[in-house]
Structure 1
Amino acid sequence: MKEISIFIAFLAGFISFISPCVLPLVPAYVSYITGSTSERGKIFTLIRAIGFVIGFSIIFILMGASASYFGQIFAYYKPLFTKISGILIIIFGLHMSGLMKFNLLYKQFRVSEPKEVSNWVSSIVMGMAFAAGWTPCVGTVLASILLYAGTEATLNSGIMLLICYSLGLGIPFIITAIFINSFTKLSPQINRYLPLVSKLSGIIMIIFGILLFFNKLQTLSRYFYIF
């Protein structure tokens, strides 16, 4: 069960990265944290990208710790909390897939990013600003993982889920930052498939929410071991 939870969290992070709200903006984020990317070496870009990832990972992990802490408080009501979490994740999936739209999920909360990214610490601050003011697509997927973290038995389990989520989002970002010139050339072709990616991601979230609601994630875990 632990392995499938880690896999789901990592996959959720990757889904956030390839969402239509994030992927097209990656070149802008990379350019912002590195300056003129065409004039910077790969090591410089790598260091700045890692700083950005560390920044949003700190915020996400703190969120996971908080979600697990409150989950432990409501441990007595865990069956009810799990069902409510499943319903909310299904709603997020319906929204992301486009099958239903909920205006409330379009709202964003932003904090000010540094006016200029002049060093590695500024990259971390920029990453924290990104996490604190996530876009709607990241918000629905992240909220699903936070809800799931809230159903975990221990604080460490919730933190681990958000570490895996951060890795799923951060590793592709770092790789893309290093090869940003190639990515920019491929962007027009990639962007054509983003609506389809969003729909498929939403369907995955719906399925996950249904399994969580009926407490059937163990079934998915057995299939995971088979493959």
Structure 2
Amino acid sequence: MELGLTSFGLSFLAGVLSTLSPCVLPLVPILLGSSVSSHRMGPYALIVGLMASYTVIGVVIGSMGARIGLEADSLRVVGGLLLILFGAIMFSSVLQERFSGAISRLGVGQGLLARFNLDGLHGQFLLGMLLGIVWSPCVGPTLGVAITLASQGEALLQVGAVMLMFSLGAALPLLAIGMLSRQAMGRWRNRMLENGQKAKKVFGAALLLLGIFVLSGVDRTFERHAVNVMPDWLVILTSRF
């Protein structure tokens, strides 16, 4: 599976969907509200810290395939199987809950928040970094999709670029939601969560299809046809990394 606009776009969309998780969305106004009280630029520091955390986690895990010497074809098979797995998890609410529960029992990141001073910009940046760790079990399926896509990269820059797109996808909705009043958030929260679950089902079905395409080699055929019809500037852009 070559890295191109599809990989970056799917990773960005996975980041957007991660914000609509039931254990993330209700806390966003509270966290961003406390960030403002700590420093007027606090929300931005928190979100940059969250982006850095997601990116670091993804780069470390996503680059392991190349480091342990897996060949490109083996990575494709593993990546296709993982896309099918995460697609099934995102398509089923029951599987999402079981997956998050299994990962959360590892206790990753729990108890860290109470050990640090979170005042000021440095504190809010650290809070964002810690949230990336604490929220990882909750956003595991979407984060796993991004890491799977990133693992197909042949260089660290490719891996980092895909994870940066996931982080950006997670950050932009947080900023938008943070601008809502608490009254508006209260009115729209249930609708946002409901629409988020519907979007995850659609995304999960797309991942299942993509995983089947990867395992069958159809994605490479599609890619060849796409390159033939794409303008030169777009081909250069998608292969720059």
TM range (shorter): 0.7 to 0.9
**Could you tell me how far 1:184 is from its partner in structure 2?**
3.6
The match for 1:84 among 75, 78, 81 is 78
**How much has 1:205 moved relative to structure 2?**
2.8
C-alpha distance after superposition, 1:41-87 (max 9, x if no partner): xx92xx22211111122122222332453232355522122212221
Q: Percent identity?
A: 19
Root mean square deviation of aligned Cα? 3.0
Describe how 1:168-179 pairs up with structure 2 within 5 A.
168-179=169-180
Would you say the 8 A contact 1:52–1:125 is kept in 2? Answer: yes
Structure 2 counterparts to residues 98-109 of structure 1, below 5 A: 98=92, 101=95, 103-106=98-101, 107-108=103-104, 109=108
**Deviation at 1:153?**
1.0
Which consecutive residues of structure 1, in runs of 5 or more, have no partner in the other structure?
Answer: none
Residues 1-227 of structure 1: pairs in structure 2 closer than 5 A: 2-35=4-37, 44=40, 47-74=41-68, 76-98=70-92, 101=95, 103-106=98-101, 107-108=103-104, 109-111=108-110, 112-114=112-114, 117-181=118-182, 182-218=184-220, 219=222, 222=226
Query: What is the CA distance between 1:124 and its match in structure 2?
Result: 1.0
**Separation in structure 2 between the aligned mates of residue 180 and residue 205 of structure 1, nearest angstrom:** 35
> 1:19-49 CA deviation, whole Å, 9 max, x = no partner?
33422332233234334xxxx9xx92xx222
Gaps of 5+ in 2: 232-241
**In 2 relative to 1, CA 202–116 (structure 1 residues): closer, same or farther, beyond 3 Å?**
farther
What's the TM-score, normalizing by structure 2?
0.76
Amino acid at match of 1:126: L
Instruction: State TM-score, norm by structure 1.
Output: 0.80
Contact kept, 8 Å, 1:24 with 1:191, in 2: the verdict is no
Distance 1:129 1:216, change over 3 A: farther
1:188 to 1:128, Cα distance in 2 relative to 1, 3 A: same
Shift of the 161–167 alpha-carbon distance from structure 1 to 2, 3 Å rule, reads: same
Once the 2 structures are TM-superposed, how far is the Cα of residue 141 of structure 1 from its aligned partner? 1.1
